[in-house]
Amino acid sequence: MVAIRKSWCIVALSALFACSTGTPYAQVAAQLPTLPPGYGRIMVYMTTNTEAPTFHPDIAIDGREIGKIETGTFFHVEMPAGAHQVGVKTDEHLAGFGNQGATQPVEIEVASGTTSYVQVGVLVTIGMVKVVLSPETAADAQRDLSNLYQVAPVPQ
């Protein structure tokens, strides 16, 4: 009886952990739908955040909040082909860090039928946390994404 309870607890904890981390990138990539004509995909991801592990920046595309990004996660959105600005919403409640420095948005060119990638990084200086956004090549992004899990963006 004790062995059954221990096994059940391990299964329950494993399921809880799996739910909290999201779906692995390889599984998501294999199931991504074909993009509609005139649309591309923007994939936003964060590999590490050792400087401020509890800070989860709010990502915006073209000024509209898309979602929070956490260490080890990614999300994607489908956007019309063309230039788009990926930025970060400032969080005024950063008492633990001081202030959030202004993040320079990056402009991403999204081509029809393709995916563009933006990596999110976090830097901490005295009294300030700053988010850094970096456009990435498909090869570098694929390498980085292979160990990450999907989080859901804000419904559009």
* Phi, psi dihedral angles at 154 (to 5 degrees): -65, 135
Q: One-letter amino acid identity for 94? A: L
**Interval 78-91 mean pLDDT:** 91
- Write the class of the CATH domain 23-150: mainly beta
Q: In what order do the strands lie in the sheet with 128-136?
A: 99-100, 128-136, 115-125, 39-46, 73-80, 149-150
Claim: this prediction has a pTM higher than 0.95? no
Q: What is the pLDDT of residue 21?
A: 65
Q: What is the pLDDT of residues 47-58, one digit of tens each?
A: 987 777 778 889
Average pLDDT, the chain: 81
**Interval 98-125 mean pLDDT:** 86
**Interval 92-119 mean pLDDT:** 79
Q: What is the pLDDT of residues 17-36, one digit of tens each?
A: 333 468 999 999 999 999 99
For the chain, what are the domain ranges?
Answer: 23-150
